[in-house]
Amino acid sequence: MQNSNEQQPIISEVNDLQLGTSEDDHSIIAARVVDEEEESGKIKSYSDKNNYQEGNSSDIKQGAFMDLKLLSYNVFMRPIVKTNKSDYKDARLDELIIKMKEDNFDIICLQELFSTASNRLSKLLKEFSDFEHVHLSRNTWKLKPIDSGLVIMSRFQIVERDSFIFSQGSNIDGYTTKGVLSVLLDISKKDSQEKKYLLIFNTHTQANYDLKDESYWKIQQSQVSEMAIFIHRKMKQFSGVSALVCGDFNIDARNKPEWYNWMMDRLNEINNNEALEALKKQYPLDISPLQGSHISDEYTSIVKELSERKGESESKLSITDLVLEKQGNHPISFGDFIVENGTEKPREVILTNPETLITKERLDYIFLVESSLQIPTLSVQNCCIEPFFRPLEKITESMPCTQLSDHYAVSLSCTF
């Protein structure tokens, strides 16, 4: 159990298809020191002309409002396998840790940071000791041999955590426990009488191992459908709370706009009771609480408070693609390019599969989900692509990567 006299981290280990774990379930306790000092951090936004415009995400003024920074990033650290000569996983992780610390994020959602046959996840958690609250999926070998690779790290207290595993997966993905993690965060200011909460979802859907094989798209459809049901369940459970849905959806908004539009339509079906009930029949999720799980008094009180918000449980939910809203286009987050002497060339060749060079895809997203009846409490300052390029002086023969992953990250700065 957690020592009430010490601030300590809670790390969730989900190893069951069932849902409803509480703060004390499957936890690992280790002392950590909270560093509350803030540092300024630069983020760069992408335009379709391959220009990266600098903007300071720490320019939000302090005062009556609280600023929050979130990162969503597929870090491309798969267990055992490699794409080309080397994935340089350990070297990239070392630099990624430094970079994420410099940018001083409050919430970090990572994809493809697998713990199977690797100590990289443990190393990252040790380095980010000021993130007291962590939710992840591991120790899943009884279900499948490879974990989900999903991690949520937060400076804010996790009041409730949940998860589920997709029912379908193909190729390597079929051996992983890919799905969705969710956390309810208490983002209230210290000593504030008014409690504020935020839901965070982190996901990674089926990869496209053959762009000509649409069977992968069929699996993605089932996964997005299950995700929509899960999001609706959590939004109903915590009525009136805003949510951020982050991750690598592997659905390309640039080259497959019809797939992107389908995804947005399916996510919006949580507002249509008839369509939602049909989805639930087609994709029956096991959403019962873990047997013997402990539900804290604080959790019970919060659920009661939020469930008593009259009318909001029946309100419409709006779903906003924040990058599209803030940038006005679908920027590339995978398979980028440069132009040399009038010829397009791949921007990155060390980590990217040769078959996906210059595919110019947008696969990575942050969605805002809000109730139509609630007073907006979240003001988005910026949401943009963060390429995480490596400085030219660091690119060497022994470490030739030009960026820290084959994907670009998505960063968000907002005010509550």
Q: Which residues contact 116 (CB under 8 A, 6 or more apart)?
A: 79, 145, 146, 147
- Alpha carbon 225 to its chain's center: 17
- The pLDDT tens digits for 306-352 are 655 545 445 688 899 999 999 999 999 999 999 999 999 999 999 99
Residue with tokens 């009038």: 342
Q: Determine the Cα–Cα distance for residues 283 and 399; give it in Å rounded to an integer.
A: 45
Cβ-in-10-Å burial (0-12, 13-18, 19+) of 104 comes to middle
Q: Could you give the CA distance from residue 316 to residue 272 in angstroms, rounded to a whole number?
A: 9
pLDDT at 43: 31
- Going from the first residue of the chain to its last (416 residues), give the mean pLDDT of each consecutive group of 10, the final group possibly shorter: 41 35 30 28 34 33 70 95 94 98 97 93 94 81 84 97 94 93 92 87 95 91 96 92 97 97 93 83 64 51 61 72 98 98 98 96 98 76 98 97 99 93
CB half-sphere exposure, 267, CA atoms < 13 A: 22
pTM: 0.82
Yes or no: say if 109 and 47 are a contact pair by the CB < 8 Å rule: no
Q: Which domains does the chain have, with CATH numbers?
A: 10-415 (3.60.10.10)
| Predicted pLDDT of residue 305 | 65
Question: What one-letter code names the amino acid at 353?
Answer: N
Helices vs strands, H then E, count in the chain: 7, 18
Contact criterion met (CB below 8 Å) for 168 and 219: yes
∠ at Cα 154 (405, 288), nearest 5°?
100
Can you tell me the distance from the alpha carbon of 161 to that of 24, in angstroms, rounded to the nearest whole number?
A: 10
Any alpha helices (H) in 137-185, and if so which ranges?
none
Q: What is the pLDDT of residue 296?
A: 55
pLDDT, residue 6, reads 39
Q: Is residue 303 helix, strand or coil?
A: helix
